Every structure is written in C-alpha cells, then in structure tokens.
Amino acid sequence: MAIPTARIPQTTPSADEIQAFQRATRDLIGVALRSLEAAGGGISLPQMRMVLALDDLGRCPSSAVARTLGLGASSVTRLADRLVGSGHVLRGSDPQHRSVVTLELSPLGQTLVDQVLRWREEELARILSRIPAELRAATADGLDAFHHVVGEDYAADLHGPVPL
C-alpha cells in the first residue's frame, strides 16, 4: 500500500495510540515466541532470526549473515556454533576462497522454518478470525502504513537480535 506522505497531516500521536502499538509489539513478540515453543525446535529467538535469514539467503558466507542481521562476526559465529551443534545449520567453505566460512540450513533447519512459519500463519488466522472483517481490514491498512513509514531497513543497522 503506497502512502502519499505529502498529503498526510503530521499530528502527534496520543498516549492511547502509542500504548496500543506497545501492546501490539508485545503481542506479536508473544506469537513469535510461542511459534518456537510449538515447533519444538529448542532454539532461541536470536537463533531463529539467523535460521530465517538463512532461509532467505540460502548458502552464503557468514559475513553476509552478519550484515543481514546487523551483528558482528563473533556473534554470528556463536549463534552458528549452537545451530550447527543442534543440527539446524551446516557450516562449509567456499572452494574458491578457503578462508570464507559458509552457512546454510540443514534439512532439519528447513523443517523448523516451515513448521514455525506455518504455525504463525495458523495462529494469526485464528486470532484475526475473532476480529470483525471491517476492523481487521482497517488494522491491516494501518499496519501497512506503519511499515511504509518505518521502511524495510529500519532495524538493519541495529547490533543485536531483532526478531524476524
């Protein structure tokens, strides 16, 4: 949804509006955390963030994962170590550049991604089905406008786990 920002009057949000977004943030993080529990993969939210990034990136150098997540190389190495140990990620090397460490999802990691995303979709559908259709559509439009203003790269330069 394209939002023509030049025509939107700039007003200060009310305390109630800000509180509603605070609650929505907490609720959506709750859905993300419950999806990890439901999938039974035994990984943390920061680890899931890496697994989801690898699902998007495919096999790639660990430096690309670090850039995508906005993390330092040592943080990516620690996360990767745990995920390799649990069988969710495979570590390799680039035949052209032996010093380059690559990361990719293992079949177990791909299964986890599929389960988590399917669970989230079903849970959001269950929750949203309890909201009247017109309010649900207006809320979706509001979230699209929020995302448009925030932008895709809002959290890209943060150093730490940002849930996907």
What's the whole-model pTM score?
0.78
Q: What is the dihedral sign for C-alpha 144, 150, 156, 159?
A: negative
**CATH number of 133's domain:** 1.10.10.10
Task: State the Cα–Cα distance between residues 135 and 65, nearest whole angstrom.
Answer: 38
Whether 38 and 81 have beta carbons less than 8 Å apart is answered as: no
In a domain, 36, yes or no: no
pLDDT at 154 over 90: no
Mention every residue, 6+ apart, whose C-beta is less than 8 A from residue 3. Answer: 144, 145, 148, 149
Would you say residue 155 lies in a domain? Answer: no
Residue 57 in this model has a pLDDT that exceeds 90 = yes
Q: How many domains does the chain have?
A: 1
Q: What is the pLDDT of residues 17-43, one digit of tens each?
A: 999 999 999 999 999 889 988 888 688
Please report whether residue 68 resides in a domain. yes
* Full residue range of the structural domain in which residue 124 is found: 41-149
User: So what's the pLDDT on residue 8?
Assistant: 61
Q: Is residue 56 part of a domain?
A: yes
Report the pLDDT value the prediction gives residue 58, as an integer from 0 to 100: 94
Confidence band for 7, pLDDT divided at 50, 70 and 90: low
